[in-house]
Amino acid sequence: MTIFIIIMIIILLIYIVNQISREKAKEWYNKGIALLEAGRIEEAIKCFDSALDIDPGYAEAWVGKGLVLVILGRYEEALNCAEEALKINPNLSLASGLKKICLEKLLGK
């Protein structure tokens, strides 16, 4: 019985830490969006990178980073971000749109 309780406590702690990490990643993402809207591009990309450092499975953060990279004219890197986002969430329309923009720029359309 004691081992069961210890295992349950460990599982609960892991869950709590995961939730805290996701919230922190979301904070970085939201800050990145605000900075992007304010035109503070270099700062925005750092925020998206921080979100992705915490949660590499955060598809929207990949899209945010990709948008910044498009603004900077770094289309291949932006395409990679779009593809990462689509691996995580194949139905994310923002990632599909980002990928389309990148391909158009890279193919000169």
Query: Which residues, other chains included, contact 48 with Cβ-Cβ below 8 Å and sequence gap of 6+?
Result: 28, 29, 32, 61, 62, 64, 65, 68
pTM of the prediction?
0.83
Q: What are phi and psi of 80, to 5 degrees?
A: -60, -40
Domains of the chain by start residue, with CATH: 2-106 (1.25.40.10)
Q: Give the model confidence (pLDDT) of 8-45 as tens digits.
A: 777 777 767 667 778 899 999 999 999 999 999 999 99
Query: Which residues, other chains included, contact 75 with Cβ-Cβ below 8 Å and sequence gap of 6+?
Result: 69, 102, 105, 106
Report how far residue 22's alpha carbon sits from residue 52's, in angstroms, rounded to the nearest whole number.
Answer: 10
